[in-house]
Structure 1
């Protein structure tokens, strides 16, 4: 939630987004706002920490971007590219060259792309079949769009817990309580 603002879904209808896709747009925009908020002043040296052998903050940020990207490809009725498979394979693998700002900006850009896609999605096509993955598992356009939104919300929640945990561990190491 942005300071002094209700959550995105309580701010009213988003212009240009079809009514049936408003919840997906609200969830994606909420995810973006929360990522920006949670990552403000987050120290780079904690990005790849894996508390309790769980996923790092960087993994969650990469995965958020990757999931939205992959769901958009499937929504467009496209197969994933080699670059997308490579990105999936690299999610969570430490890259000391990447910064917090780059990870956050990548997610913000992918959400912006998703919002444009939602704006241009004819509602008459929402139940259209869309194959997912190499096995071409059955889904629909609306299923993919909602999965992108709900999966983003799920990982933002995990991101928040991971952030608070790695910061607490770091504070404990530095002698704080």
Structure 2
């Protein structure tokens, strides 16, 4: 059963004070995504993770998309282009996976993202990075903020879909 609705979010807990403000805010967003999945997504019956109620993207897709987009965005943040393997992973985000595979990929990606974000040189926050095939220029700090926004957007979609699935599943049980 989900925890109470008004728990204090990571950014309000005062943690990670040793980390610079920009990466700290990004890490707090990732912490919140992890907690939202723990609270709303992973308690779902495994068979529901790939369901698409009302045509919504599945929570399994959202988990894979968050995991793989973190890897892609951090690759750009590190100043590198995407590898062929990353391009293949992007193409496969809609392919169903087991609940265990989706959870492991999601949790591993958040753990690795935490390490990669903390390893980024702070003196480069205003330096340009290039994103996508078009190599669009963006400051590293802006790329990190987008990484947080993007993760939270998809975590929110996963939570909403999980709530819909829970309601539909409960109604079917009645």
Alignment TM-score, normalising by the size of structure 2: 0.88
Distance apart, 1:61 and its partner CA? 0.7
Could you say if the C-alpha distance between residues 134 and 78 of structure 1 is closer, same or farther in structure 2, counting changes exceeding 3 Å? same
**Structure 1 range deviating more: 115-124 or 75-84:** 115-124
* Residue number in structure 2 paired with 1:24: 26
Any gaps of 5 or more consecutive residues in structure 2? Answer: none
* Residue number in structure 1 paired with 2:162: 163
Q: CA RMSD in A?
A: 2.1
**Structure 1 range deviating more: 18-27 or 77-86:** 18-27
Distance apart, 1:16 and its partner CA? 3.9
Mapped to 2, the partners of 1:118 and 1:2 lie a distance apart of 29
Counterpart mapping for 1:24-173 below 5 A: 24-95=26-97, 98-99=98-99, 101-173=100-172
Any gaps of 5 or more consecutive residues in structure 1? Answer: none
Mapped to 2, the partners of 1:13 and 1:172 lie a distance apart of 40
Mapped to 1, the partners of 2:90 and 2:69 lie a distance apart of 9
* Residue number in structure 1 paired with 2:14: 12
**Dislocated runs of 4+, deviation >6 Å:** 1-4
Distance apart, 1:5 and its partner CA? 5.5
Could you say if the C-alpha distance between residues 92 and 155 of structure 1 is closer, same or farther in structure 2, counting changes exceeding 3 Å? same
Aligned residues: 172
Per the alignment, in what secondary structure is the counterpart of residue 138 of structure 2?
strand
Mapped to 2, the partners of 1:10 and 1:171 lie a distance apart of 33
Mapped to 1, the partners of 2:95 and 2:105 lie a distance apart of 16
**In the alignment, is the contact (CA less than 8 A) between 1:9 and 1:23 conserved in 2?**
yes
Per the alignment, in what secondary structure is the counterpart of residue 82 of structure 2?
coil
Mapped to 2, the partners of 1:19 and 1:172 lie a distance apart of 45
**In the alignment, is the contact (CA less than 8 A) between 2:42 and 2:103 conserved in 1?**
no
Mapped to 2, the partners of 1:116 and 1:73 lie a distance apart of 13
Alignment TM-score, normalising by the size of structure 1: 0.87
